[in-house]
């Protein structure tokens, strides 16, 4: 997969969402976000929505299995 080019604002959004994820699950978070954004027209709203949805899903699963 080729690198995804994000703006500074989009990177800030991604960092903020990642901060809510347990440290050991952040790589999985970033992989899932990259897979979801790959090939998309990357607007700020899309990056925000995808990052928040995936972060919520990971946190929910971590609580369920933790």
What is d(CA 22, CA 44) in angstroms, rounded to the nearest whole number? 24
3 in a structural domain: no
37 in a structural domain: yes
Question: In this predicted structure, what is the pLDDT of residue 56?
Answer: 95
pTM of the shown model: 0.86
Question: In this predicted structure, what is the pLDDT of residue 66?
Answer: 61
59 in a structural domain: yes
> What residues make up the domain containing 34?
8-65
Question: In this predicted structure, what is the pLDDT of residue 23?
Answer: 93
Question: In this predicted structure, what is the pLDDT of residue 26?
Answer: 95
Question: In this predicted structure, what is the pLDDT of residue 63?
Answer: 75
Q: Which of 48, 37, 57, 53 is nearest to 11 (CA)?
A: 48
Count of the separate structural domains present in the chain: 1
13 in a structural domain: yes
What is d(CA 19, CA 40) in angstroms, rounded to the nearest whole number? 24
If the chain, 66 residues long, is cut into consecutive pieces of 10 residues, what is the mean pLDDT of each piece? 89 96 94 95 95 94 72
Question: In this predicted structure, what is the pLDDT of residue 61?
Answer: 78
What is d(CA 36, CA 51) in angstroms, rounded to the nearest whole number? 9
25 in a structural domain: yes
């Amino acid at each position: 997969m080729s690198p995804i080019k994000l703006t500074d604002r989009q990177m800030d959004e991604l960092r903020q969402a990642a901060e809510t994820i347990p440290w050991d699950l952040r790589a999985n978070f970033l992989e899932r976000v990259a897979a979801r954004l790959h090939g998309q027209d990357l607007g700020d709203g899309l990056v925000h929505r995808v990052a928040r949805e995936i972060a919520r899903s990971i946190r929910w699963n971590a609580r369920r299995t933790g």
